[in-house]
Amino acid sequence: TICQLHWREAACTRRCSRDRRHTEGRRAAVRGGAAALSTQLPRTMLSRLLKDHQAKQNERKELQEKRRREAVVAATRLTEALVDHLNVGVAQAYVNQRKLDNEVKTLQIQAAQFAKQTQQWLGMVDNFNQALKEIGDVENWARSIEMDMRTIATALEYVYKGQLQPAT
C-alpha cells in the first residue's frame, strides 16, 4: 500500500494516523529494524529512489557546471575590463614616448645645426682677427715706409738746400 512506502514521512503519519493497519505496520517495522524495512520495500522502490538520487545528482552537477561556466565568463569579462583599463594607460604612455622620441630627434638635429653654425661663426671671427692683424701689419709697414720716406725726403731736402747754398 501507499502507506507502507512512505511510513517515515510526517505527512503520512498525519494522513494515516487513523488507519489502524498502517499504525500497526509502522510499529512492526520499527520493531523489526532494518531487516524488516528492507523486506517491506519492494525492488521498484529502491530503483526509483536510486533514479531519483541520480537525477538529483545530475541536476546538481549541471547546476554546478552552469555556475562554473558563469564564473569563467565573469572572470573573463573582468580580466578583459582590467586589461582594457591598463591598455588605455599603456597606449597613452606609448603615444607620449613616441612624441618624446620625435622631439629628441628634432632637438638633436637642431643642436647639430647650431654646432655647425657656431663653428662657421668661429671660423669667420678667426679670419676677421687675422685680417685685422694683417691690416695692423700693413699699417705698421706703411708707417715704417712713411718714416723711411720722410727720412729720405728730409735728407734729400738737406742735400738740395746744401747744394743751393754754396752756389750762391
pLDDT tens string 8-64: 544 444 445 445 555 555 555 555 554 445 555 567 888 888 899 999 999 999 999
Q: Residue 123 in 3-state DSSP? A: helix
Contact criterion met (CB below 8 Å) for 40 and 29: yes
The whole-model pTM stands at 0.39
The residue with cell 545530475 is 58
pLDDT band per the 50, 70, 90 thresholds, residue 147: very high
Q: Residue 125 in 3-state DSSP? A: helix
Q: How many residues does the chain have?
A: 168
Q: Evaluate if residue 2 carries a pLDDT over 80.
A: no
pLDDT tens string 23-38: 555 555 555 554 445 5
For residues 60 and 43, give the distance between their C-alpha atoms in angstroms, rounded to a whole number. 26
